[in-house]
A and B are shown apart, each in its own frame.
Chain A
Amino acid sequence: MGEDRRYPFCEIDQEECKGCGLCVASCPAKVLEIDQGKLNSKGFHPSSYKGQGCLGCGNCFYTCPEPGAVTVYLKGYVPEEVK
């Protein structure tokens, strides 16, 4: 992830995503969208983060049925590489 990323932010594993859209509906900041221009290996249009505006509320994380498809980095998160 880029050094310039500002917390909080949301990361979608687009391979794991099944494109159900629950995260998009759950996002109060409306910063998630289904990427209609992309197909993953299973043929799903995956969800994607618009790049800014994440509130770090965690709705998308808890609403996503795939265990590892959504990761939300909250304020105060220190990436492993700089620990």
Chain B
Amino acid sequence: MARPAVLRKPLGFVGRYEHKPGAEKNRTHYCPGCGHGILHKLIAEALEDFEITDRAIMISPVGCSVFAYYYFNAGNLQVPHGRAPAVATAVSRANPHAVVMSYQGDGDLAAIGGNHIVQAANRGENIAVFFVNNAIYGMTGGQMAPTTIEGMKTTTTPYGRNPLTDGYPMKISELLDSLHAPVFIARTSLHDPANIRKTRAAVRKAIQYTIEKKGFSLVEVLSMCPSNWKMDAVSSQEWIRDVLIPVFPLGTLRDRGSEAVEMKRPVPTFDPAKVREVLGVGGGKQKALARRRVDPKYADPSIRIAGFGGQGILSAGTAIANVGLEYGYNVSWLPSYGPEMRGGTANCSVKIREGSIGEPEATQPTVVIAMNRPSMEKFEQILKPGGTLIYNSTLIEVEPGRKDVETWAVPITGIADGLGNTKVQSMVAVGAFAGVTGLFGLDDIKGLLPAMFESEAMVLLNEKAVEAGYDYVTGMRR
């Protein structure tokens, strides 16, 4: 790009700062000698030179640069303290063509937003981050920052930063340089014209890489804060040179621009046909299975299935609910969830009703399927008088306590084991439930298995399991 024959306010700035309250629309809100304005100018110049003001989006943080949006000729979002990298992440993904920049100070980026910057860098978000390190909190009036150097007096380290109580100055660029994803990381300074020009080059590189969708860039800029350092502007530059740089060495820590490949983001579709296909919407009328005549005592069952985790308790319930649905009943399935899923006991409630279902928990079940002894002992207690208890006699060696209920001792685990796989005990239980209640027909269940299991072998095995459970109880009935 040819340099213009005049160095003037870049077009990356708006002409008048209309968002700035009050009458003064031509001057920034920054203190005399503050480095923010210099960095702003370098960014604004790049926006103009790269001809990207149209598609530039600036994220303004909290801190002195909270009002960055007054100045930049771009789309602007002002965001909560420290969250700029998170917001920038979504803005970049929402607008992959845009050039998204986040501007943050040291409190914002390194303290309250510390995790966000690390994670955004680690994801390699396609954003340019401008990180102003002036070793102090500016907007709130000179408190300690994560980058405050050892011994430095601030309003919250009135005796000087003591590493033993306050920690050491954080070297963000070095920290981020330990990650795989970032493309460009540099630390520069504003302490003299030569270094301002190096900052200019780094700013332009970061923006260039963002335009090229190469991923995450960060430029850490050591910057003057004369007001809170309690120095004049020129002394502030000298202080950076003599005191700050020895702690925060300058240089390009990483430049992988030549290796980085252009990032591709997916293009969202709202095509109704595609949405329907992915969600499985519609598919025309669904023909319900012909209802079977059911003994009234088994109609509208409220079912509790319980056992060890790993016995397929939840999947047995799911299968029963699914089959019930195919007959056109209203169904609900409610699991016990959480730690119980991770070993220990599991139980679920299934309701199958002609009418609408109120409480989904089977608090007073009409059918209990108990797969182990603790489950039988627990849930037979709440079984409705006259209800049905199907229990796994392979693992439950005691008789049920309740005498006012119908009991079915079915060696569910044993039957499954006989089929060569105890994992199918849940489907043995489903077969037994169907056989006892007469609610489902054996062939109807078998017809639904291909939709429930992926491989043909599993369909065949589960067919055998359902059949074995069903046959066992119907044999008992005979």
Contact = CB atoms under 8 A, between A and B. Distances in A.
A66 B31 CA distance: 10
Interface string A21-54: 1100110000000000000001010000000000
B8 A76 contact: no
B28 A72 contact: no
Residue of A18, A75, A76, A78 contacting most chain B CB atoms (<10 Å): A18
Contacts of A57: 193
A22 B26 contact: no
Interface in B1-36: 3, 5-10, 13, 26-28, 30-36
B232 A21 contact: yes
A68 B10 CA distance: 8
B351 interface: no
Contacts of A74: 3, 5-7
A58 B197 CA distance: 10
Main secondary structure of the interface of B (DSSP, over half): mixed
A68 B26 contact: yes
B27 A16 contact: yes
Residue of A62, A75, A76 contacting most chain B CB atoms (<10 Å): A62
Interface residues of A, number: 31
A65 B5 contact: no
A26 B193 contact: yes
A71 B6 contact: yes
A20 B26 contact: no
A76 B3 CA distance: 11
B8 to A, nearest CB: 4
B5 A67 contact: no
B237 A25 contact: yes
A50 B448 CA distance: 93
Contact of A68 (B8, B30, B35, B38): B8
B71 interface: yes
Interface string A60-83: 011111111011111111100000
Contacts of A44: 32
A37 B445 CA distance: 98
A26 B32 contact: no
Given A22-B234, A42-B27, A67 B10 contact: yes
B52 interface: no
B192 interface: yes
Contact of A65 (B3, B37, B232): B37
Contacts of A65: 28, 30, 32-38, 40-41
Contact of A77 (B5, B40, B71): B5
Given A18-B32, A42-B27, A64 B5 contact: no
Interface in B187-208: 192-193, 196-197, 200
B5 A22 contact: no
Given A18-B32, A20-B32, A67-B44, A77 B6 contact: yes
Given A42-B27, A68-B8, A72-B7, A22 B33 contact: yes
B56 interface: no
Nearest to A58: B7
A4 B232 CA distance: 36
A20 B9 contact: no
Contacts of B41: 62, 64-65, 67
B233 interface: yes
B16 to A, nearest CB: 10
A35 B43 CA distance: 29
Contacts of B107: none
Interface of A: 15-16, 18-22, 25-26, 42, 44, 57-59, 61-68, 70-78
Given A62-B197, A65-B28, 5 more contacts: A20-B33, A44-B32, A64-B37, A68-B26, A78-B5
4 smallest CB-CB distances across A and B, nearest first, come from A65-B37, A20-B33, A68-B9, A77-B5
11 contacts: A18-B31, A26-B193, A65-B37, A65-B38, A67-B9, A68-B9, A68-B26, A74-B7, A75-B5, A76-B5, A77-B6
